[in-house]
Amino acid sequence: MNNITFTDELYEPGRLYPFNQVRNICDIRIGIVTIREKWNLINTQRQSPLNDSIKVPVNLIPSINFLKDYKAGDNDFSKPGNNYRLLESAMQLFDYNDWAIRADFDLITKGRATAKLSSSNAAINPGNIFIEEGAVLEHCTLNASEGPIYIGKNSLVMEGAMIRGPFALCEGATVKMGAKIYGATTIGPYCVAGGEIKNSVLLGYSNKAHDGYLGDSIIGEWCNLGAGTSNSNIKNTAGRIKIWNNAIMDFETAGVKCGLLMGDYSRCAINTSLYTGTVTGICCNIFGQTVHPKYIPDFSWGTERYILQKALQDIDNWKKLKGHAISEREIQLLTEIYSSKK
């Protein structure tokens, strides 16, 4: 990546809220890996050295043939491209996830052999399934007829799970018994997934472990959805939805499908019901017998404001459940964000 310069000329600040609050845009996961990891893989696999520096938008999502097309003169990023997507809103993280899983599958599996799939599993179109070493799958149904299925290193798919591609299960993640997962879905590293999930991305270290529906949604890192939590992803009228736009600090009309956009370190209680197009900021604790608003600001504790030290302690408690601890960098960053919102 030394020869690649990233620019923000085609990125409007706030449009990727809440997922760029605590990370660089390059570190957002879409498809199987993060945007930064895609660049590293492309850089490793290219056939000829990239001698000249190139400039690309920081919110550009590349695929395996991007550099080839760029060298051929395809570098007008204001126009749609076959070998890249321009990430201009948080909703596009699930809109583009089908394309991104397919692109990453080609990028990651090129020239590599899959691990063997146990005969206890039912596999449809097994040539479109790739399993990394250390993954454990028994008595599952994997249907790759509509798109590829990628099963990451040391991941676990429990018995009775039903998965349709395109689908990505990242390193160390778990799909629980009887889960029903539709494409295009990404379960990020060390996440736990259960119940019914469709066209969603869990960025990493988060839990949607129980029954309930998650559709057309993006869940940040270190989040937890309580048992029975469900979101709506389409209005009863099938009309266009309104979603919070942090760039203009107001709601704007968007497409006809959008579920939940949940920022990092946020959680909701059991049996939480969330409206179509709900956006929650970072470090939110959503609970109570109430109608939850469609926009829940950063550091919300029910209807009140989270006390910073309690928020940091609660994050540390959740991280310890997965063998981690809150870092000094996280404490400093979250303290700065908290102070900026007084």
Listed by start position, the domains of the chain span 4-107
pLDDT of residue 48: 46
Q: What is the DSSP letter of 130?
A: E
CA distance 284 to 265: 7
Beta-bridge mates of residue 261: 218, 279
pLDDT of residue 209: 96
CA distance 18 to 299: 12
Residue labelled with tokens 């990028």: 107
CA distance 264 to 191: 13
Residue labelled with tokens 């990394």: 132
CA distance 103 to 130: 14
**Is 46 within 8 Å of 66 (Cβ atoms)?**
no
**Is 100 within 8 Å of 200 (Cβ atoms)?**
no
Whether the CA torsion 117, 123, 125, 128 is positive or negative: it is: negative
pLDDT of residue 82: 76
Q: Which residues contact 137 (CB under 8 A, 6 or more apart)?
A: 117, 118, 121, 131, 151, 156, 157
pLDDT of residue 46: 54
Q: Which residues contact 31 (CB under 8 A, 6 or more apart)?
A: 38, 61, 97, 99, 100, 101, 102, 103, 104, 168, 186
Name the stretches of the chain with pLDDT < 70: 1-2, 45-52, 74, 78-80, 342
pLDDT of residue 232: 95
CA distance 193 to 210: 7
Q: Which residues contact 133 (CB under 8 A, 6 or more apart)?
A: 115, 153
CA distance 88 to 119: 43
Q: For 202-244, what is each residue's pLDDT tens digit?
A: 999 999 999 999 999 999 999 999 999 999 999 999 999 999 9
pLDDT of residue 1: 54
pLDDT of residue 44: 77
pLDDT of residue 51: 57
Q: For 319-341, what is each residue's pLDDT tens digit?
A: 999 999 999 999 999 999 999 97
